[in-house]
Amino acid sequence: MNKSGVKPAEGKLGVLTVGLGAVSTTFITGVLMTRKGLAKPVGSMTQYDIIRVGEGEDEKYLKYNQIVPLANLNDIVFGAWDVYPANAYESATNAEVLKEKDIEPVKDELVKIVPMKAAFDKNYAKRLEGNNVKDCKTRWDMVQELKKDIQNFKKANNCARVVVLWAASTEVYVPVDEKVHGTLAALEAAMKADDREHIAPSMCYAYAALTEGAPFIMGAPNTTVDIPAMWELAEKVKLPIAGKDFKTGQTLVKSGFAPILGVRCLGLSGWFSTNILGNRDGLVLDEPANFRTKEVSKLSTLESILVPEKQPDLYTDYYHKVRINYYPPRNDNKEGWDNIDIFGWMGYPMQIKINFLCRDSILAAPLCLDLVLLSDLAARAGRYGIQRFLSFFLKSPMHDYTKNEVPVNNLFEQYVMLKNAIREMGGYKADQRID
């Protein structure tokens, strides 16, 4: 134990990704290349960000691993589940995100990462045709099979700890149903009764991870851990959960730009966001029921930043629309357009246009690394349940909506929460000073 009481990061850390597609393979390849000194983990807060700690003469700026005991990149062991049987090398090559020169040096390691059969239900992602799928009779069977996978992976790789990260496709939208999702007992009963309408495969992954002692991170907008039953489970097993949906392109822009309007007291008439995307995620989101899940996540961002009740003259009737269009020629090179209609002095209209030509997986990979390392840290620090400090990395931050809690979507407020959590886990005082 160090001065903060956080357990040290001893032994190997197993990182199991659900999905071995563009995001996962970009993340894994980048970590392996960084370990060899052949790439730099640009965009990763845990590897680059510095935080001010101490007061007066003791004030200094330190990197995260100088404040808290983070797992070393050399101690990470990767594994995955996927509906397609291709290994990480084949999948990274097929994804066409990274160039050959950035994959070949770690080919030997990538080839060894062969995905386990996925717990999958085609009704939740109709566009996927993979056959590397478990034959499970019920949702409860899915849970048991996944638990065995985690146990076997941990043993085979001599892992001291494991973190499970969902980096797979967006599932069909599952509305929260109090009768099924309200309590852990109800959720377990529904799994055993094979209630496929209310129990998504992702919920089986989360349940299996938590009951096997692994923190769980939801990187898609799925309902998965955003239900009271999962909060109850996380509290019961004393493990952290985080979600939902990696904040990569357009929502990153939105959560950073909307506060400019708010602090400058400029009015908003409308915000129209549209994207074109051609990777597997884009293909799945071309299905209306899957897009609905993403839409709910993306639409939630503005509401807690530009609040009508606080500024009725400025934000009462703004129109917010989000669109995603599947466009295969772009593959992973996503493009996001934002048209923002604002008004200023005496109500005169103005416009802002933002065109973000981004690379989806290049932006998501550092988020995967940070979420894994910080979830592992939180577990060793004895933090459990919803990890609100991780909202900085996520599009639709988890919050206790049963108590009318409002999620923090303002990027700069989220950054203060992140820094203060690191400070506290490092034995330093939290503060609100922005720097």
Mean pLDDT of 351-359: 95
Tokens of 319: 């129109």
Tokens of 342: 């604002």
Question: Residue-wise over 382-395: b if at least 16 C-beta within 10 A, else e?
Answer: ebbbbbbbbbbbbb
Contact between 397 and 413 under an 8 Å Cβ cutoff? The reply is no
The candidate with the shortest Cα–Cα distance to 295, out of 251, 350, 338, is: 251
For the stretch 27-52, pLDDT in tens is: 999 999 999 999 999 999 999 999 99
The candidate with the shortest Cα–Cα distance to 377, out of 167, 206, 158, 217, is: 217
pLDDT top residue among 129 and 364: 364
Mean pLDDT of 314-326: 92
Spell out the domain ranges in the chain.
12-246+361-425, 250-359
Superfamily name with CATH number, domain 12-246+361-425? NAD(P)-binding Rossmann-like Domain (3.40.50.720)
For the stretch 376-397, pLDDT in tens is: 999 999 999 999 999 999 999 9
Distance CA 63, CA 428 (A): 14
**Phi (first) and psi of residue 275, to 5 degrees:** -130, 150
Residue 75 predicted with pLDDT over 50: yes
Distance CA 220, CA 202 (A): 10
Mean pLDDT of 402-423: 95
pLDDT of residue 171: 93
CA 333 to chain centre: 19
Q: Domain 250-359: which topology?
A: Dihydrodipicolinate Reductase; domain 2 (3.30.360)
Neighbouring residues of 413: CB distance < 8 A, sequence distance ≥ 6: none
Residue 281 predicted with pLDDT over 80: no
Identity at 243, one-letter amino acid code: G
Alpha carbon of 234 to those of 182, 202, 215, 218, 222: distances in Å? Answer: 14, 15, 9, 14, 17
Distance CA 248, CA 362 (A): 9
Mean pLDDT of 292-316: 86
pLDDT top residue among 293 and 265: 265
Residue 280 predicted with pLDDT over 90: no
For every residue of 178-197, DSSP letters joined together read HHHHSSHHHHHHHHHTT-TT
Tokens of 205: 């992954």
End-to-end CA distance of the chain: 30
Question: Could you tell me the pLDDT band of residue 278, with boundaries at 50, 70 and 90?
Answer: confident
Distance CA 3, CA 327 (A): 52
Residue 1 predicted with pLDDT over 50: no
Contact between 169 and 280 under an 8 Å Cβ cutoff? The reply is yes
For the stretch 184-224, pLDDT in tens is: 999 999 999 999 999 999 999 999 999 999 999 999 999 99
Contact between 408 and 391 under an 8 Å Cβ cutoff? The reply is yes
Contact between 217 and 300 under an 8 Å Cβ cutoff? The reply is no
pLDDT of residue 435: 79
Distance CA 376, CA 14 (A): 10
**162 has which bridge partners?**
14
Distance CA 170, CA 185 (A): 26
Helix (H) or strand (E) holding 319: strand 319-326
Distance CA 419, CA 422 (A): 5
Neighbouring residues of 87: CB distance < 8 A, sequence distance ≥ 6: 110, 111, 112, 113, 114, 115
Residue 250 predicted with pLDDT over 80: yes
pLDDT of residue 142: 97
